[in-house]
Amino acid sequence: MPVKLCATVTLRPIRVRWIIFALLVGFGFLAYVQRTGITVVSKGMMSDGGLTQIQIGWALTSFLVSYTILQLPGSVFGEWAGARRTLTVITLLAVVATLAIAVTPLVLRGSALFFALLGSCLLLGAAQSPIFPVVSGVIEVWFPTGRWGTPQGLLTAGVQLGSAAAAPLTAWLLQTVGWKLALIFPGLPALLLAGYWFWYGRDFPAQHSSVSALELAELGTGHSPERQPQVTLNDVLRVLRNRSILLLSISYLCMNYVFYLIGFWCFLYLVEQRHFSILEGGWLASLPYAGAAVGGVIGGIVCDRLCAAWGVRLGFRAIPLVALPIAGLLLFLAVNSSNGYEAVAALSFAFASIELTEGPFLAAATTIARQHTMAATAVVNTGGNCGGIIATPIVAALSAHAGWTTAFVTGSAFALVSAFLWLFVDASQPLGGLVRGPNR
């Protein structure tokens, strides 16, 4: 019931779904702090444990490999176990993995430490692999049908801000308490979050005692725990065979090539090619992340409105078909600008343009797959991670041997291909076997 303060002022109660969403952002933020922490403290691990930079590189690669290949299996587990239990379990596993990285140098050295670190990074990748597919599944259940773009865009913004904050936060802990405790301390809020989530979170709104009848009415049909609770092999195969899901994953691969190009290489480009100082380059390299956060929010909100006005078939296509070519053009302008600050501005707007499409990508997969959103977004995310795996060696080789202009032009090409593939994505066609209301 609304709380009446006077005749003209009425406070509406906070929707439970937004509290649930805030907890989801917390999971994403802490995941980035944990994974970023390993790279920040790597120098301490090398000096204390007798590890080489090559071994650290292999350990980080093992995280990326397990994180990528276990996206779909992890999401299937999420559909089977439910988001409440899954997010609790994988958060606890991630804390165990980071704790192991911190304490094994106390008892191991050399090769033994390297293999222990390798195993811990594999475990961390496995633990974090289902996070964002499971979060997408929670958004599908807890938000009204057709309004998934906005929470996905807001989640993107939160994660981008987390990415920007993770490195300086870990560096501060490193200088204050040492590298071991810098890895351990983020585990404390993670444990608190997991405990609160298990106590407060529910797989379906109807299971939550604080969800009002008004909020249930806002959510509409399709959010009931009576939906098919178990995922089968046929369900997974339907996801893998769906033409639009596969096109989304390939397009997301191309988009994430550009994402990793800017996110991983912007700082080195500004210092090496634009000759900014390390300090100034560090500050300037954070601007694209700010642009990405803004882009994520705008893209999600506009996506929902376009789908409501034009139908999902055209509504989801509109933003990627405009934003991705603009991002490609901005990359080209950035490396051909004679002014370093203009290049930074172009890169920031390019990153914002790329992140405008995060909401459409994931909301389109949700619209197609519905109760199998976790599996569908896992397939899309796997494509995105492969984009990072492809981009890293290509950009490294091209920037070293052919120059930064050539490296960034490949990003322009990938952005155009990503946009082109959206011409064939049709979110109005549901996954085979699902029954839904009409889509336009």
- Each residue's pLDDT tens digit, 6-46: 444 444 567 899 999 999 999 998 888 888 777 777 777 77
Query: Residue 221 has what pLDDT?
Result: 54
Query: Residue 282 has what pLDDT?
Result: 64
Query: Residue 32 has what pLDDT?
Result: 83
Residue located via tokens 């920040």: 40
Residue located via tokens 């993995």: 97
Entry pTM: 0.87
* Domains of the chain and CATH, by start: 11-219 (1.20.1250.20), 233-424 (1.20.1250.20)
3-state secondary structure string across the chain:
CCEECCCCCEECCCCHHHHHHHHHHHHHHHHHHHHHHHHHCHHHHHHHHCCCHHHHHHHHHHHHHHHHHCHHHHHHHHHHHCHHHHHHHHHHHHHHHHHHHHHHHHCCCHHHHHHHHHHHHHHHHHHHCCHHHHHHHHHHHHCCCCCCHHHHHHHHHHHHHHHHHHHHHHHHHHHHHCHHHHHHCCHHHHHHHHHHHHHHCCCCHHHCCCCCHHHHHHHCCCCCCCCCCCCCHHHHHHHHHCHHHHHHHHHHHHHHHHHHHHHHHHHHHHHHCCCCCHHHHHHHHHHHHHHHHHHHHHHHHHHHHHHHHHCHHHHHHHHHHHHHHHHHHHHHHHHHCCCHHHHHHHHHHHHHHHHCCHHHHHHHHHHHHHHHHHHHHHHHHHHHHHHHHHHHHHHHHHHHHCCHHHHHHHHHHHHHHHHHHHHHCCCCCCCCCCCCCCCC
Query: Residue 435 has what pLDDT?
Result: 44
Query: Residue 439 has what pLDDT?
Result: 45
Query: Residue 155 has what pLDDT?
Result: 92
Query: Residue 279 has what pLDDT?
Result: 66
Q: What is the mean pLDDT of each run of 10 residues along the chain (440 residues)?
A: 48 80 93 80 74 79 89 94 96 94 83 88 93 95 92 88 75 82 89 96 92 86 57 87 96 95 80 76 75 91 95 96 96 90 91 94 95 94 91 85 90 97 94 52
